[in-house]
């Protein structure tokens, strides 16, 4: 869990330690709610609109009342009252009707990660919902860490490779950059979209057997951007792979360009 620097609950700014919601909130009791995590660069949120668009879709799909303008105002107020250079903003909407916005410290990010495969079946009814029900994702990461790996790679019982518990997955075969298709019930990740826009990456159903032939791989998420994978189970991958390096710098450049454009606007 990242350090919470400042909180907003239902529009009220609070120190993290004073920010509370009622224990009867079904967001807590049942993980019934939606969330987003946005990265800040020098205090400026990247792709906030895309995150808010997805939060609206998540809430609609979950039949959860959601006030986008109120959440956007909460974010703005939070950012106006102290903008650390590089941090995260987490937005939650609970079934109990509470709007929570947290300013979080950016966690220490490793340069590379090792992945252990964990068997996982996406919950169909939650397609298109970035819900608060992340217990399974957190457990998957913990199971991978128990085995000495950094992170989990979620794989269906039929051997289809999906994504990480909080990131998208890309892999390289020769000079082709591939990523599992969204219709395998993955999160429609904003960073995945970004990588697909700035590279030649394409969707390709990916099996565990395919990964035996992977030359490079990386995770992608708002928090991590492009993070090289050095190992998947016992297979070691190319470090400093050229396709990963190109994707990382193209993504970074696009982020900087978009941030500069919003700063001017």
Ligand X SMILES: Cc1ncc(COP(=O)(O)O)c(C=O)c1O
Rule CB under 6 A: which residues touch ligand X?
A: 37, 163, 166-168, 187, 189-192, 221-222
* Joined tokens for residue 135: 């217990």
Smallest gap from residue 169 Cβ to ligand X (A): 9
H or E element that contains 47: none
Cα–Cα distance for residue pair 227/219, rounded to 1 Å:
5
Name which of 74 and 225 has its Cβ closer to ligand X.
Answer: 225
Cα–Cα distance for residue pair 141/115, rounded to 1 Å:
9
Smallest gap from residue 208 Cβ to ligand X (A): 19
Smallest gap from residue 129 Cβ to ligand X (A): 11
Name which of 4 and 134 has its Cβ closer to ligand X.
Answer: 134
Smallest gap from residue 190 Cβ to ligand X (A): 4
Cα–Cα distance for residue pair 227/216, rounded to 1 Å:
11
What are the phi and psi torsion angles at 82 (to 5°)?
130, 105
Helix %, strand %, coil % of the chain (to 5)? 35, 30, 35
- Of 67, 72, 78, the closest CA to residue 7 belongs to 78
Name which of 192 and 230 has its Cβ closer to ligand X.
Answer: 192
Name which of 187 and 196 has its Cβ closer to ligand X.
Answer: 187
Name which of 26 and 188 has its Cβ closer to ligand X.
Answer: 188
Which SS3 state, helix, strand or coil, does residue 135 take? helix
Cα–Cα distance for residue pair 131/17, rounded to 1 Å:
24
Smallest gap from residue 187 Cβ to ligand X (A): 4
């Amino acid at each position: 869990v990242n350090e919470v620097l400042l909180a907003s609950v239902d529009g009220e700014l609070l120190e993290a330690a004073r920010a509370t919601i009622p224990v009867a909130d079904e967001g807590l009791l049942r993980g019934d709610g939606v969330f987003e995590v946005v990265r800040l660069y020098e205090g400026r949120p990247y792709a906030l609109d895309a995150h808010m668009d997805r939060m609206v879709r998540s809430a609609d799909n979950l039949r959860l009342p959601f006030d986008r303008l109120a959440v956007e105002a909460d974010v703005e107020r939070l950012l106006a009252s102290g903008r650390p250079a590089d941090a995260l903003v987490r937005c939650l909407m609970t079934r109990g009707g509470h709007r929570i916005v947290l300013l979080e410290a950016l966690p220490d990010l490793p340069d590379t990660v090792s992945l252990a495969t964990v068997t996982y079946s996406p919950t169909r009814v939650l397609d298109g919902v970035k819900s608060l029900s992340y217990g399974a994702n957190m457990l998957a990461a913990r199971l991978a860490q128990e085995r000495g790996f950094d992170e989990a790679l979620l794989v269906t019982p039929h051997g289809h490779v999906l994504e990480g518990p909080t990131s998208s997955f890309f892999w390289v075969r020769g000079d082709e950059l591939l990523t599992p298709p969204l219709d395998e019930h993955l999160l429609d990740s904003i960073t995945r979209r970004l990588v697909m826009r700035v590279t030649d990456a394409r969707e390709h159903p990916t099996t565990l057997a395919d990964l035996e032939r992977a030359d490079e791989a990386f995770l992608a998420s708002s928090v991590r951007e492009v993070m090289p994978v050095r190992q998947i189970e016992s297979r070691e991958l190319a470090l400093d792979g050229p396709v990963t390096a190109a994707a990382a710098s193209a993504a970074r450049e696009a982020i900087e360009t978009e941030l500069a454009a919003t700063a001017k606007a």
